[in-house]
Amino acid sequence: KGQTMWGGRFAATPSDIMEDINASLDIDRRMASEDIAGSRAHADMLAEMGIISAEDNEAIQGGLDAITEELKAGTFPFRRELEDIHMNVEARLKELIGEPAGRLHTARSRNDQVVTDFRLWTRGALDEASLLVAGLQAALVKRAGEHTETIMPGFTHLQTAQPVTLGHHLLAYVEMLERDRSRLLDCAERLNECPLGSAALAGTGFPIDRDMTADALGFARPMANSLDAVSARDFALEALAALSIAATHLSRLAEEIVLWTSAQFGFAQLTDAWSTGSSIMPQKRNPDAAELIRAKASLITGLYAALQGAVKALPLAYAKDLQDDKRLTFEAFDTYNLCIQAMTGMIDTIGFKPENMRAAAAKGFSTATDLADWLVRELGLPFRDAHHVTGTLVAKAEEKGCDLADLSLAEMQAVHGGITDAVFGVLTVEASASSRTSYGATSPVRVAEQVAQWKQRLRLE
Ligand code: ARG
């Protein structure tokens, strides 16, 4: 077992279990390229400021080139006893270039180094996730465009409420996803300040130029307080909170897929690629991916809670509790990215069943509101009275076991003498949906407009 990097004052190496609990390499090796980018910027700055020589910087940059190659080729010798990616890279640099490697850590600590890497990684992950969100939006908009006129029941309390169009329903998710995307991008913008140069916690006496490193790494500016810089993890918390909300939206859509593909709803069918069978029941076509998305949404919320718990009572500045931030954050992004890709695949290919949707929309007296509105518009009834008259007619239809439109004019007139034949014009589900033309409403005309706008916003076609 080799000497640890901080071994100067220690006579013995850590116990195996100590190594197990302390090592983060298996997790943070994902930040290798960010770590190298941070070291490059730092070394360039040290040379520029005359803190290390130009020759040393050249040797360091050359060594980091070689390490980049090794990482790409899969030949980089990862060593768990060196704890984390930072010390692995530095130790390898020492092997490759010798003495100048030891100068790289001047005016730097692992505390500012790790959080610089982590901010860089999270910034990239937020961009990647936001692109995946746009991909699902595109899939939903496309399907919505195919179904601007498809009638389905709209629900409240999962009870039939009013007819809506499928396109309108799908676009509701596009709106949610847009807010998800903007939360992710907001977070990426807010986190974009550079902790590098804060050193362990108090800053450094070396004449460093923090604007230079911030700039080189694409940060908007250096963080203004070194204690804050090494301690703050609200950028990760914010990312996980945004992911948790975004995953909640995926879960709601997943739940609808589960419902819609059931025999009882019969609104949709998943393709073979997105279904699984049962080992005993041959008829089964299970929506496993949707169910897993439902469960994994809670996992993401749990990862947020775990990180919040790790940070909430931590005195300034760095403590090792903060090492676990990456495990939680990586898992949240991995999980979300997997879920949203599965959802995009399902939405791309799911087969809707418009006839079944329409039939369901016509059940449950879904046009009762249209009848009440007609009484207000045509007969001048106060809405409350119209509501009462309609309620009486619904009770009558229910008693007869028929739809509202199946009541005879005479039966209607027995409840309110003013009703005419024209009322039947508003009792179909198509008429109901088409009549709702207010801004944001469900009519095919409005939905087609929204689809066109979304296609433009997302630069589709
Ligand atoms: N692997 C550590 C982490 O991820 C790096 C920082 C270590 N700093 C320290 N003071 N022990 O947090």
Fold match, 7-106 / 363-457: no
Average pLDDT over residues 392-413: 94
Write the CA distances from 61 to 47, 54, 137, 147, 347, integer angstroms: 11, 10, 42, 57, 47
Say whether 155 sits in a helix, a strand or coil: strand
Ligand 1 center to 65 CA (angstroms)? 24
Q: Is 84 in the pocket of ligand 1 (CB under 6 A)?
A: yes
Average pLDDT over residues 448-456: 98
- Which top CATH class is 363-457? mainly alpha
Q: How buried is residue 106: exposed, middle or buried, by Cβ count under 10 Å (0-12/13-18/19+)? A: middle
CA-wise closest residue to 154 among 369, 347, 6, 329? 369
pLDDT tens digits for 279-334? Answer: 888 888 899 999 999 999 999 999 999 999 999 999 999 999 999 999 999 999 99
Q: Is 111 in the pocket of ligand 1 (CB under 6 A)?
A: yes
* Distance separating alpha carbons of residues 61 and 64, to the nearest angstrom: 5
Enter the ipTM: 0.97
Atom of ligand 1 nearest to the CA of 322: 12
Radius of gyration of the chain (CA): 31
Q: Is 111-359 assigned to CATH 1.20.200.10?
A: yes
Ligand 1 center to 321 CA (angstroms)? 9
Q: Is 118 in the pocket of ligand 1 (CB under 6 A)?
A: no
Ligand 1 center to 92 CA (angstroms)? 18
Q: Quote the pLDDT of residue 3.
A: 60
Residue among 111, 227, 326 whose CB has most ligand 1 atoms within 8 A, to mutate: 111
* Distance separating alpha carbons of residues 253 and 346, to the nearest angstrom: 11
Q: Is 278 annotated as catalytic? A: yes
Domain coordinates of the chain in residue numbers? 7-106, 111-359, 363-457
Take atom 10 of ligand 1 and give the residue whose Cα is closest: 111
Say whether 289 sits in a helix, a strand or coil: helix
Ligand 1 center to 230 CA (angstroms)? 10
Amino acid found at 173: Y
* Distance separating alpha carbons of residues 226 and 247, to the nearest angstrom: 34
Which member of 53, 182, 278, 298 is catalytic? 278
Write the CA distances from 412 to 186, 367, 380, 399, integer angstroms: 57, 15, 17, 14
Q: Is 157 annotated as catalytic? A: yes
* Distance separating alpha carbons of residues 451 and 437, to the nearest angstrom: 15
Ligand 1 center to 401 CA (angstroms)? 71
Query: With the CA atoms of 43, 47, 49 and 51 taken in that order, what torsion angle do they form, in degrees rounded to the nearest 10?
Result: 90
Strand 193-194 with 221-222, pairing: parallel
Q: Quote the pLDDT of residue 41.
A: 98
Buried b (16+ CB within 10 A) or exposed e, 428-440: bbbebbbbbeeee
Q: Which CATH code is given to the segment(s) 7-106?
A: 1.10.275.10
pLDDT tens digits for 26-62? Answer: 999 999 999 999 999 999 999 999 999 999 999 999 9
Phi, psi of 286 (to 5 degrees): -95, 140
Q: Quote the pLDDT of residue 443.
A: 98
